[in-house]
Structures are given as C-alpha cells and as structure tokens.
C-alpha cells in the first residue's frame, strides 16, 4: 500500500471509497503528490522552494483556509491547477461551510 493511501485509511480513518477518490485526486500531478508525501512525513508544508500553483503555495492556501489540513490544501492545489476560475470563486466566497 502506498504512503498516501495508508495515511488516508489508517490515520484519517476514511472509508475505502473516499480514500480511493482522495488518493486519485491528490496524486494526479507528481509535483503536488510529492509535496503532500513530504507533509505526511513531517506534518509541515515544504519550506524550501515550495511548489507554487496559481500564485499560491501550500502554506498560502492553509493561511487562507486554516480549517484545511494537508490533504485539503493539496487537493485544493489540484483544483487550482485544473479549474482556476472555480478555485478563485471558493477563495472569494470565503470557503462557506454549512
């Protein structure tokens, strides 16, 4: 079992269905996946030459949305890369949670 799937199933206690979906998304791009694996190992965002997607580093996203943990931040980086307009809507809308 790979590092990410192991983390999602055992540490985050996700169902297999959700863990598989999350793993597929966050592993979509190698650069994002590697930074997420670094976060899983160290529980901090990579401080040296961090990846930038749409002007945002992982730490920037976490500052915008402190309720997100590493998985949420790196999945949001995938959303930023795939659909920047939608990601901007979420940022401008203040990440409404109900």
Which residues sit at the interface with another protein, rule CB under 8 A?
A: 12, 14-15, 17-18, 21-22, 25, 65-69, 71-72, 75-76, 79, 83, 86-87, 90, 94-98
Q: Which residues contact 36 (CB under 8 A, 6 or more apart)?
A: 4, 26, 70, 71, 74
**Chain Cα centroid distance, residue 1:** 20
State in angstroms the smallest separation of the CB of 55 from another protein: 18
State in angstroms the smallest separation of the CB of 90 from another protein: 6
CA distance linking residue 77 with residue 74, whole number of Å = 5
- Closer residue to another protein in complex, CB, 1/66: 66
State in angstroms the smallest separation of the CB of 98 from another protein: 5
- Closer residue to another protein in complex, CB, 49/67: 67
State in angstroms the smallest separation of the CB of 21 from another protein: 7
CA distance linking residue 41 with residue 98, whole number of Å = 31
CA distance linking residue 10 with residue 52, whole number of Å = 29
């Amino acid at each position: 079992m790979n590092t990410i799937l192991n983390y999602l199933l055992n540490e985050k206690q996700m169902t297999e269905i959700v863990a598989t979906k999350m793993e597929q998304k966050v592993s979509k791009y190698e650069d994002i996946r590697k930074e997420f694996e670094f976060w899983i190992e160290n529980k901090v965002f990579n401080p040296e030459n961090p990846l930038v997607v749409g002007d945002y580093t992982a730490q920037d996203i976490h500052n915008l949305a402190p309720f997100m943990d590493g998985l949420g931040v790196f999945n949001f980086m995938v959303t930023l890369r795939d659909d920047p307009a939608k990601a901007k809507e979420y940022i401008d809308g203040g990440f409404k949670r109900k």
